[in-house]
């Protein structure tokens, strides 16, 4: 569950995991069960990428394996992602050591912190022109026990 600084909670539930070749395809849904709110994520030895259904159909790498501080890569939607850290971060869900990834693009700036074994624990999005900032913090998470 994520908490937005505006005070509104946003629930994201892993609604399915499917093995496709060597990759794991993870579907997330909101509290209402509607999967269209989130795109599918693919976890592989190469990193974490977001599946796209847009006109270009190109996946966007959120994280790549073997990253070092200062590494960067181009994003199909435009702009560049750069990795910083690892660095300590504290959110309502706890204290983590996370990589900070900054996506600078025409539409603004998106900074995400990713903790190993957890995923995105914090996100700060600055809208175009810097007129609005949206902050989202990981409030809680549960790891389901394997049967």
- Asked if residue 146 is part of any domain, the answer here is no
What 3-state class would DSSP assign to 109?
A: strand
Which backbone phi and psi does 67 adopt, to 5 degrees?
-70, 145
Is residue 65 included in any domain, yes or no? yes
- pTM more than 0.85: no
* Overall domain count for the chain: 1
Three-class DSSP labels, 72-104: EEECCCCCEEEEEEEEEEEECCEEEEEEEEEEE
Is 30 a domain residue?
A: yes
Which pLDDT value is given to residue 34?
A: 46
- Residue bearing the bigger pLDDT, 9 or 74: 74
Average of per-residue pLDDT values in the chain: 77
**Higher confidence at residue 18 or residue 80?**
80
In a domain, 51, yes or no: yes
Which residues are within 8 A (CB) of 100 and not within 5 positions of it... i.e. 6 or more apart? 83, 84, 85, 87, 111, 112, 113
Averaged over 48-63, what is the pLDDT?
71
Lowest-confidence region among 61-65, 134-138, 140-144: 140-144
Identify whether 147 is part of a domain: no
The pLDDT tens digits of the residues spanning 77-128 come to 788 999 998 999 999 889 999 999 999 888 789 899 988 888 888 989 887 7
Q: Which residue has the higher pLDDT, 136 or 58?
A: 136
Contact 43, 23 (CB under 8 A): yes
Residue 32 belongs to domain spanning:
2-138
Q: Is residue 115 part of a domain?
A: yes
Contact 95, 104 (CB under 8 A): no
Most confident of the ranges 12-26, 28-42, 93-107, 124-138 = 93-107
Q: Give pLDDT, residue 36.
A: 45
44 vs 63: CA distance, rounded Å = 10
What whole-number distance in Å separates Cα of residue 5 and Cα of residue 113?
A: 16
In a domain, 145, yes or no: no
Q: Is residue 109 part of a domain?
A: yes
Rounded CA separation 50/25 (Å): 10
Would you state the pLDDT for residue 33?
Answer: 45
Identify the DSSP state of 129: G
Q: Where are the beta strands (DSSP E) in 21-67?
A: 23-29, 41-44, 47-50, 60-64
């Amino acid at each position: 569950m994520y908490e937005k600084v505006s005070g509104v909670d946003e629930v994201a539930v892993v609604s399915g995991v499917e093995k496709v070749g060597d990759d794991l395809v993870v579907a997330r849904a909101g509290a209402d069960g509607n999967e269209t709110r989130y795109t599918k994520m693919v976890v592989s030895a190469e990193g974490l990428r977001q599946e796209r259904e847009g006109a270009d159909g190109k996946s966007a790498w959120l994280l790549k394996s073997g990253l070092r501080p200062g590494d960067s890569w181009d994003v199909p939607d435009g702009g560049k992602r750069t990795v910083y850290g690892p660095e300590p971060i504290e959110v309502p869900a706890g204290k983590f050591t996370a990589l900070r990834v900054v996506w600078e693009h025409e539409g603004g700036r998106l900074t995400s912190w990713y903790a190993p074994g957890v995923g995105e624990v914090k996100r700060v999005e600055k809208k175009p022109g810097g007129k609005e900032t949206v902050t989202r913090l990981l409030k809680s998470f549960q790891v389901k026990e394997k049967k």
